Amino acid sequence: MSASTLPARSVKGPIPAVLVTLALGWLALIIGAPFATVLAEAFSKGLGTFLAAFKEPDALAAIRLTLLVAAIAVPLNAAFGLAAAWSIAKFEFRGKSLLLTVIDLPLSLSPVVSGLVWVLLFGARGWFGPWLEGAGIKVIFAVPGIVLGTILVTVPLIARELIPLMAEQGAEEELAATTLGAGGWTVFRRVTLPNVRWALLHGVLLCNARAMGEFGAVSVVSGHIRGLTETLPLHVEALYNDYDFVGAFAAATLLAGLAVVTLVAKSVLERAMPLAIR
């Protein structure tokens, strides 16, 4: 992209070779081996048993719920991330550094806590619990709780992709567009959004992967009701606890596959665009 960075030197001599071997070996041990185990275990009783694991109604319900949660959490986080990054990068206001810190908070918070706070708020003995019960609204041990837990865990992911990029790009292009007669919405749609689309896409994919894979927070608020409040990660755990190893690893394959698809989608989309505007 920029011509100012020097090209990396090609590998020569023993030290680079050792380092590269170490890095590859470490990756193989830490990422490659577990991944291979998941696949081997999932297919250990043949393709038929593997596929049968997805025909179970509970498995299908878990997949549906996982997709639903991601479909709600990701767009909301994208909207928030854009708004937060826009205001932080393009405007000066009081409390800006506080906002930056708060956005990062979920990253340093244990997911269990991210789940528990919702129980404290909306659980049967929580602050709003009795009121919600009176209104007949169920949040904890139901889908709304799972969505809230997921959003809390994934809220920084898109904003953090966008903030540094938008800050670096500054506001001059927007100012130029305004003096050329463009209104606020037009400026956003035709200047701001296209300038951050790769970071946004990257953030969305990351957020999506995390939303579908979140275990800790969801585990606290879900209540583990099979076929109703179990997402894929919870389903994997439940099957594993039932000694259904093929089923557990088959579902795990699905989650792992999702990660691979995410990465492939990202690189395919990036390659489809001309280099000059990336």
Q: Output the smallest distance, CB 183 to other proteins, in A.
A: 7
Q: Output the smallest distance, CB 161 to other proteins, in A.
A: 17
**Phi, psi values for residue 248, rounded to 5°:** -60, -45
Q: Output the smallest distance, CB 3 to other proteins, in A.
A: 10
| 3 state DSSP class of 274 | coil
**Nearer to other proteins (CB atom), residue 13 or residue 181:** 181
Listed in sequence order, the residues at least 6 apart from 187 whose beta carbon sits closer than 8 Å to its beta carbon are 174, 177, 178
How far is the C-alpha of 74 from the C-alpha of 225, rounded, in Å?
A: 24
**Nearer to other proteins (CB atom), residue 87 or residue 195:** 195
How far is the C-alpha of 187 from the C-alpha of 255, rounded, in Å?
A: 38
**Nearer to other proteins (CB atom), residue 174 or residue 214:** 174
Q: Output the smallest distance, CB 275 to other proteins, in A.
A: 8
Q: Output the smallest distance, CB 179 to other proteins, in A.
A: 4
How far is the C-alpha of 155 from the C-alpha of 82, rounded, in Å?
A: 11
- Site for other proteins, rule CB under 8 A: 1, 172-173, 175-183, 186, 190-191, 194-195, 274, 276-277
How far is the C-alpha of 244 from the C-alpha of 82, rounded, in Å?
A: 42
Q: Which residue has the tokens 């709304």?
A: 144
**Nearer to other proteins (CB atom), residue 90 or residue 138:** 90
Joined tokens for residue 6: 């020097």
**Nearer to other proteins (CB atom), residue 100 or residue 165:** 165
